[in-house]
Amino acid sequence: MTTAAAELETEVRRLRIRIISLTTAQLDEAAPPAQSRRAVIREALAEFSWIGSEARPVPELGDQTLADQVVVLLEHGLRSAQALPEPDRENRISALTEAAVRLRRNLA
């Protein structure tokens, strides 16, 4: 496993814990700049899909599945990166990691 892949896996774990810990009221609260945390997560899901899953539509499921959706999309993106040539692989993993870090910070 590369360092970049390990960093992404660390972010996946952090995000899962962060999202699971959010209550419905916290999901409804605005996150800068004035969107709900739920909307921020849904935008991130679309971005993860765009980067690692050929922009497949992401279904809007209940709040209880938000963390699972984040994990599945990030892990799928990591697995799909393994089939790419080295420079493309690292670029995809880096893009996913940056998006994951951005989401975690926006949820703070």
- Looking at residue 59, its pLDDT comes to 87
Amino acid identity of 100?
A
Distance CA(27)–CA(98), nearest Å, equals: 22
- Looking at residue 80, its pLDDT comes to 92
> φ, ψ for residue 41 (rounded to 5)?
-65, -45
Residue 15 has pLDDT above 90, yes or no: yes
3-class SS at 30? strand
Q: End-to-end distance of the chain based on CA atoms, in angstroms?
A: 29
pTM of the model: 0.88
pLDDT in tens, 33-63: 668 999 999 999 999 999 998 888 888 888 8
Contacts with 5 (C-beta within 8 Å, 6 or more apart), sequence order: 78, 81, 93
Q: Which two tokens stand for residue 23?
A: 């209550």
The band of 5, judged by pLDDT with boundaries at 50, 70 and 90, is: confident
3-class SS at 49? helix
Distance CA(102)–CA(11), nearest Å, equals: 10
